[in-house]
Structure 1
């Protein structure tokens, strides 16, 4: 938002089209960063939950086998 306010201050003759384009681009960049951070946080929390108590369907698939070194590391740290 500060970037938009600076543009309004320094370029008072900006057309509406240029302003909306700048605002839309800025909003899309911020939204993309927010989604990226939320996705990373969600996957981290999900991984921690599954490492603590893996459900049966996950333990029976090959996905859990790829996480097995992390599980062993977590259990050895807990002791």
Structure 2
């Protein structure tokens, strides 16, 4: 197949390194044959997941945080400029 010390890529154009094909230190590397095929989504969050707080018992609106500079979340009701208010 290829030389153990390195060789060309599948197209035969650019040299590849042995570390790209076998990497015991990083089993999730896309080049490692022993790694599970777990694609990294471009939409994956960069920060850890934090679940939303439960809704306040006052109604279906979002939670109200004491000391927050923002008012409690209110449900959005779209209005047409032609409908009576």
TM-score, reference length from structure 1: 0.28
Q: Which has the higher helix share?
A: 1
TM-score, reference length from structure 2: 0.27
Indicate the structure (1 or 2) with the bigger Cα radius of gyration.
2
